[in-house]
Structure 1
Amino acid sequence: MKALKYRGAWDVTLDEVPDLHVTGDDDVVVEIAYCGICGTDLGIASGAYPVAVPGTTLGHEASGIVAEIGDAVTGLAVGDRVVINPTPYCGRCRMCRTQRINHCVNKHGTESGVSYDGAYAGRFRTTSGFIHPVPDHVSLRAAALTEPLSCVVAGARKLQPPGLTAHTFVIGAGPLGLLYTWVLSLRGLTPVVVEHSPARLAFARDRLPVGSAVYGSLAEARAKHFGDPDAPLDVVVDTTSHLLEELFPQMAHGGTYMSIGLKEKVAAIDTMLLADRSLSVIGSIDSLHGSFVEALHLITSGRVPAERLVSHVVPLEDYRTGFAALGCDLDARVFGPADQASCKVLVAPGGRHE
């Protein structure tokens, strides 16, 4: 089978590798239908987020069809449509026992697409506890967004807005930005999205929950949506992680700034304001207990229209096209803002399904 291998910064190759089969009683091998391109993948490939082990197959946002199961697996059968939780945790370490499975100290060697072979490949092998059936009425394209939505659900749990009237801003109209907008809307807030890319702004405009809107700048959002050029910032979810230093002095008293982008940026803030204004600065990454199941429920129930956020589906052989749609040009070795109407890009190792 083919697999997209990470060798180093700007060095990813599509290689022929042996097919995967079950090796343990609890193993499940999935034929991959779709695997979403994540910002983490872009950071790994470009060297901006150097966490992957060289030689690892990339990819972790995947859905597919069960191809093989181990002798002890129950509740699953060959041919089942499934989605994969790509971040196993041991359940025994201090982090896991204190509800911080996203920081399991034993996950090295198990984290799909980082330290364990991921899902930009024909097949993926895991254990039954990290496989979830997908109902027949839900497409495998939509199901592939379960993992990023799980990360959003985990992050949204951390946000404690001062009330449902809180002025809420989401910076960035990529997949996580739009998913945060939907999840926060389901919590009763009315997020406003800020996106500088005209192409992405246009894509996002008719894919927002009722009441939300997208603008080309924070100034425009404040002036047009709230009718006040100095509208307070109660909640800010920054998917770029570049704006803390700029926005921190503008945060409303009791406000919260959340950073979720995996991009290096050193920022200086005034700690007197931190205390005097009762501000919160928090970060979030990966899934927490129950967030994956909750995310799948939001997709299967139709509360989050995941498939509407898919802008491209490309064959595995065209992975360079998929990465380029998100601003990562592997040939030119350039990683910048997307210049086309893109959101979630799916790679289809086995061709299009459904």
Structure 2
Amino acid sequence: MTLEEVPDLHATGPDDVVVDIKFCGICGTDLGIVAGSYPIAVPGVTLGHEATGVVSQCGPAVTNVKVGDRVVINPTPYCGKCRMCRTQRINHCINKMGTESGVSYDGAFADRFLTTSEFVHVLPDHVSLQAAALTEPLSCVLSGVRKIQPPTMAAYTYVFGAGPLGLLYAWALSLKGLAPAVIETSPERLSFAKDRLPDAARAYASLDDARSGHFGDPDAPLDVVVDTTSGLLEELYPLMACGGTFMSIGLKEKQFTIDGMHLADRSLSVIGSIDSLHGSFLEAFHLITSGRIPAERLVSHVVPLTDFQDGFATLGVDMSSKSVNPTRSASCKVLFDIASAGSTA
């Protein structure tokens, strides 16, 4: 990871929009790219995809935004024509190579970002650029929540991990009518999370604490599990209630062995989720701009882009060893404040 001067960006196509980036969040995908554990990223690409800013240039055909508008960017264009797109699976568009911001297309850890009018949304005056930077991660969360069909509205629900996605899942599941217990082993993150959850949710240091404290039963079954760590399936699978759902959303490579007979005999569902689906970005935009999810409360740090190593270190990334370690700070969503001219990371 280095800061480099690159040629300036301009609106050259009729539908182009250039955004002067103000804030861009660090995603778990960025952590994996920096640590070398997410090989899909194209070498040399500018990272960053959770971005907000101010429109600086528009092509002549653009009508939905104008220069000076404060906007949030949907960073994952899709072709709309392939079989995946035509069957409502835009997150797996087969033509997205070369268009996925921060992975195969230069992203928003930069002063400027080039996109098209379909993928920018004007923010109401009362919504901060910092809050709106969480629209994309919330959109990914809503894609996962759509897949979760609880067996009952009284389902014993658990979210493992109190990072940004864990807390956003707690909020989104509570809007669905569930009352999740959030489990976080880092004392610092646990402390940060406790005051930033919806009324029906609570945060605990362990599964045992959650079962007894939240559900009043030391043997409370697991009806719905969201694992943001991507490493707990084998450990938690035997504890799942009949008809239960286990969702994994992390991007860490790990092999699991589970008993296939139990999968059918106990009517279990093991599912994964990534990226945005049709309509989920606009749904996330609505939940943040309406205040139903207080996104800005999940921002723990705002770091200048020039201090990018400190930003990643806050989330446990040691760039010298290309490793990701458990965070020792009260971190949640870390945003880069894009302040230096002409630099990308």
Same fold (TM over 0.5): yes
Name which of structure 1's ranges 168-177 and 43-52 shifts more when overlaid on structure 2: 43-52
Shift of 1:211: 2.0
Shift of 1:18: 1.2
Q: 1:181 aligns with which of 161, 164, 170?
A: 170
The match for 2:42 is 53
Distance between the aligned counterparts of 2:78 and 2:127, measured in 1?
Answer: 27
Distance between the aligned counterparts of 1:171 and 1:216, measured in 2?
Answer: 10
Tell me how many residue pairs correspond in the alignment.
340
Shift of 1:334: 2.9
> 1:184-199 maps to which residues of 2 (within 5 A)?
184-199=173-188
Matched, 1:237 2:203: no
Distance between the aligned counterparts of 1:264 and 1:114, measured in 2?
Answer: 18
The match for 2:24 is 35
Matched, 1:66 2:55: yes
Q: Which runs of 5+ in 2 are unaligned?
A: 341-345
The match for 2:326 is 337
Matched, 1:281 2:304: no
**Scaled by the length of structure 2, what TM-score is found?**
0.98
Per-residue CA deviations over 1:127-152 (Å, capped at 9, x if unaligned) read 10001111100000000000000000
- Aligned to 2:171, the other structure's residue is in SS state helix
Name which of structure 1's ranges 328-337 and 66-75 shifts more when overlaid on structure 2: 328-337
Identity %: 72
> 1:18-167 maps to which residues of 2 (within 5 A)?
18-167=7-156
Matched, 1:255 2:244: yes
Shift of 1:248: 0.6
- Tell me which amino acid in the other structure corresponds to 2:262: L
Shift of 1:227: 1.9
Distance between the aligned counterparts of 1:154 and 1:333, measured in 2?
Answer: 30
Shift of 1:332: 4.2
Please say if residues 36 and 322 of structure 2, whose CA atoms lie closer than 8 Å, have aligned partners that are also in contact. Answer: no
- Aligned to 2:261, the other structure's residue is in SS state helix
Q: Which runs of 5+ in 1 are unaligned?
A: 1-11
Distance between the aligned counterparts of 2:275 and 2:37, measured in 1?
Answer: 18
- Aligned to 2:193, the other structure's residue is in SS state helix
Q: 2:191 aligns with which of 198, 202, 207?
A: 202
The match for 2:293 is 304
Please say if residues 21 and 51 of structure 2, whose CA atoms lie closer than 8 Å, have aligned partners that are also in contact. Answer: yes
The match for 1:7 is none
The match for 2:201 is 212
The match for 1:8 is none
Per-residue CA deviations over 1:260-317 (Å, capped at 9, x if unaligned) read 0000110001010000000000000000000000000000000000000000001110
Distance between the aligned counterparts of 2:251 and 2:127, measured in 1?
Answer: 30
The match for 2:343 is none
Per-residue CA deviations over 1:63-100 (Å, capped at 9, x if unaligned) read 00001000110021100000000000000000000000
- Aligned to 1:13, the other structure's residue is in SS state coil
The match for 1:319 is 308
Cα root mean square deviation, aligned = 0.8
Per-residue CA deviations over 1:188-236 (Å, capped at 9, x if unaligned) read 0001000000000000000000021101111111122212111000000
Shift of 1:333: 3.1
Larger RCO, structure (CA 8 Å, separation 6 or more): 2
Distance between the aligned counterparts of 1:335 and 1:286, measured in 2?
Answer: 22
- Tell me which amino acid in the other structure corresponds to 1:151: C
Distance between the aligned counterparts of 2:232 and 2:49, measured in 1?
Answer: 27
The match for 1:5 is none
